[in-house]
Chain A
Amino acid sequence: RKEVEQDPGPFNVPEGATVAFNCTYSNSASQSFFWYRQDCRKEPKLLMSVYSSGNEDGRFTAQLNRASQYISLLIRDSKLSDSATYLCVVGRMDSSYKLIFGSGTRLLVRP
């Protein structure tokens, strides 16, 4: 079983739609949580960190449920430019601070 699991998609939505992605993680020792965005054939880039209290950045809202060990990302009013792969990432607090990446959820926003 993968340590971080995501639905690979693709999620195909029209512009203006609201779309939500979920991710589950298996290691209860995970302490930090992130969503990264990766465009086709490009490097991953940090989209936002995820906190237990939930956090919002413009049209993006991230939530963490530690008890159920899942993380979510909500995108409102989807834009064509949101088309990308969204990577769920968890980190453990050790000397290396390694990140564990999910395999990603692909989003396609159509006109």
Chain B
Amino acid sequence: NAGVTQTPKFRVLKTGQSMTLLCAQDMNHEYMYWYRQDPGMGLRLIHYSVGEGTTAKGEVPDGYNVSRLKKQNFLLGLESAAPSQTSVYFCASRTKNSYEQYFGPGTRLTVT
């Protein structure tokens, strides 16, 4: 079991560029989440999904889009990156029968 994996681990973008972050889990979890973590702010929820084909907005969704075409994958897209999106992005998943969320190792994104 790889658990939750994220690609890429690091990325530097220029303002206006686009990219997609991939989260994959092999635990057959129903729920998946995307967070960003900034100094002094804690983790903030961007978008989440309660099942394949469904997504919903979290606390800070502006500037991001997501898709959950397959149960094991949750993609986070930045259509036009801005310096304010410089952050560490964590993906998490959980089964519907447990409150514990399992996190991926994170993606460090810098937008210049």
> Which A residues contact B (CB, under 8 angstroms)?
2, 4, 8, 32, 34, 41-46, 49, 87, 91, 95-99, 101-104
Return the chain B residue nearest A91 by Cβ: B99
- Interface size counted on chain B using CB atoms at 8 A: 22
A46 CA to B94 CA in the complex, in Å?
Answer: 12
- CB-contact partner of B103 in A8, A45, A91, A102, under 8 A: A45
Output the least CB separation between A40 and chain B (Å). 12
Return the chain A residue nearest B49 by Cβ: A96
Question: Residues of B contacting A101 with CB < 8 Å?
Answer: 35, 42-44
| Interface of chain B, main secondary structure | strand
A87 CA to B42 CA in the complex, in Å?
Answer: 8
- Are A103 and B41 interface neighbours, CB within 8 A? yes
> Which B residues contact A (CB, under 8 angstroms)?
31, 33, 35, 40-45, 48, 50, 56, 58, 90, 94, 99-101, 103-106
- Are B105 and A43 interface neighbours, CB within 8 A? yes
Output the least CB separation between A8 and chain B (Å). 7
Question: Residues of A contacting B101 with CB < 8 Å?
Answer: 46, 99
- Are A44 and B103 interface neighbours, CB within 8 A? yes
Question: Residues of B contacting A41 with CB < 8 Å?
Answer: 106
A95 CA to B45 CA in the complex, in Å?
Answer: 15
Output the least CB separation between A49 and chain B (Å). 7
Return the chain A residue nearest B38 by Cβ: A103
- CB-contact partner of B100 in A46, A87, A96, A102, under 8 A: A46
A99 CA to B31 CA in the complex, in Å?
Answer: 12
